[in-house]
Amino acid sequence: MSTFDPKEHPHIRYNPLMEEWVTVSPHRMKRPWKGQVEKPEEEEIPSYDPNNSLCPGNTRSSGKVNPQYEGTFLFDNDFPALLKDGPAPSANPDPLFQSAPAYGACQVMCFHPRSDLTLPLMSQPEVREVIDKWAEINTDLGKKYTWVQIFENKGNVMGCSNPHPHCQVWASSYFPNDPAKKHRTQREYYDKHKVPLLVNYVKKELQKQERVVLQNEHWVWLVPYWAVWPYETMLLPKRHVLRIEDLTSAERDALADIMKKLLTKYDNMFEVSFPYSMGWHGAPTGDYLQQDNSHWQLHALYFPPLLRSATVKKFMVGYEMLAQSQRDLTAEQAAEKLKSLPDVHYKSQKS
């Protein structure tokens, strides 16, 4: 029997944060591909669109008018998924039909007044302003709510129909499934090893240098060993940090720097505005602010769907919906590809 080669042979990898396995099938990268590979014509987005509800001075569908903002702009979502108050469901003794109250606040945050700018095309001080606003939001909503989820859906393929640069915030009275699981797994790891799981993980990844794409004095951008999406990545501080508001000024500057660089590499992959869903995970808030959360480590997650071209994306279907996540490209191959991409944005190269 031949010797196992992770670049050639199928295997499964374990995600200790989520207690889940992912099937890796690198040999499938050799199969012939007859799908689309052409680059679609890029949409010309104006800096200001009188019909875009997120532009400064425009009227939203709720009838509210946006101010003539010049930096970031935060407002309550006109169609929130969660409400701040309301009746609670009655208790049900049947374990098969359980429900519980769900309260919260939903907000929208515009990154910039111009619709034609995304984070990698914004200046570093402008990205720093976004980071500062994220920290402010987490602090403010965290005083009341257990979990504050800051997330960005970018691109039509990720369900974002508005091109104006923006993110969303959903703060909830309950602990959502994925972060609740991370809360438990990180606690168990910390109790056993006396060091936070992700702090130890970053240390080992920096030693191996197999999946690290970018780093600076304060941050590491890498493809997780257990990544599911083709070019899934994780962004982590080198220091032990619980929440985004705990970052120092120097760490925030360094975060703005590495965010611009990593998003530039993403865009350069297929020379398109790269679609993704991203979000921040840190220690829970609300009542948890009074508890010891030393097991937590702040991190951002990027989940881009594109695989072979600007028009070919990975679908989570069939086996992945019914059994277990699967990927063809290894995490190491994805990291190598990302590292090889130019640091200068393709739009700047053409100008």
**Nearby residues of 39 by Cβ (< 8 Å), 6 or more positions away:** 270, 271, 272, 309, 310, 311
- E-strand ranges in 216-317 read 219-222, 233-237, 276-281, 299-303, 306-309, 312-313
Contact assessment for residue 104 and residue 171, using Cβ atoms and an 8 Å cutoff = yes
Number of other CB atoms surrounding residue 234 within 10 Å: 23
Sequence-ordered alpha helix ranges (H) in 44-176: 124-142
Contact assessment for residue 266 and residue 256, using Cβ atoms and an 8 Å cutoff = no
Q: Which residue of the set 9, 112, 164, 166 is catalytic? A: 166
For CA atoms 243, 248, 253, 258, give the dihedral sign: negative
Give the relative orientation of helices 331-340 and 249-270 as an angle to the nearest 10 degrees.
Answer: 90
DSSP string, 202-243: HHHHHHH-SSEEEE-SSEEEE--TT--STT-EEEEESS--SS
Number of other CB atoms surrounding residue 112 within 10 Å: 26
Question: CA 295, CA 288: separation in Å to the nearest integer?
Answer: 13
**3-state DSSP call for residue 323?**
coil
Closest CA to 279 of 104, 137, 151, 101: 151
Question: CA 138, CA 210: separation in Å to the nearest integer?
Answer: 33
Q: Is residue 164 annotated as part of the catalytic site, yes or no?
A: no
* Whole-number CA gyration radius for the chain: 21
Query: Which residues form the catalytic set?
Result: 166
